[in-house]
Amino acid sequence: IVRCGGRPIELLRTAVESVEKQTYGKFHLILAKYQELDVEPILNQQYKNITSISVLESMGGIRSTTLWAGIKAARGDCFSVLDDDDVYFSDHFERLFQPFPAERPVKFFAYSGSISGYGEPKSIQGGGADRREIFRFGITGASDLMQISDAFASNSFVASMDLVEQSLQSDPLMHTN
């Protein structure tokens, strides 16, 4: 599920290319649009690892509404989320699925860290400067769902569809960045 619409098509193209460059898996993309955006240039491309692309119109909705519409439309064994301004490393899914499942994943959830990049170097703990930093990584407590959900970025997980229960298909109407 790629949420898109508020940023230039070039960013969306880069996000889609990061899915295409995956070293593991075949993908059906859902371009979940929350604002108008001409995605024809994306749809007219030929892809090796992306087997199909569908467009879901959720105009005027807040971003969580678009996400939940994408989750409802998702088919297949697993799903993940990518915003139009984010990219995956080429081995993202390969790493998340190791050891590789022999059968369809059941009650599967895996996540990784997320790295933020900056135009100018920023000071880092321990001295020096870098244009990158680990954005989020690690569950530090499990007393409530918000504490768990804050442990990883939305673009860093993959989950099996059997985890999407009916109760999870109700949009919480969250306003996100």
pLDDT at residue 140 in the model: 52
Alpha-carbon Rg for the chain in angstroms: 17
Task: Enter the DSSP assignment of 151.
Answer: T
* Percent of the chain at pLDDT exceeding 90: 34
Give the H or E element holding residue 95. Answer: helix 92-96
Contact criterion met (CB below 8 Å) for 90 and 18: yes
Summarised one tens digit per residue, pLDDT across range 35-49 is: 999 999 999 999 999
pLDDT at residue 87 in the model: 87
Q: What's the pLDDT band for 23 if we cut at 50, 70, 90?
A: very high
Separation CA 160–CA 162 (nearest Å): 5
Separation CA 115–CA 129 (nearest Å): 15
pTM exceeding the 0.85 threshold for the entire prediction: no
Separation CA 177–CA 167 (nearest Å): 24
Q: What's the pLDDT band for 58 if we cut at 50, 70, 90?
A: confident
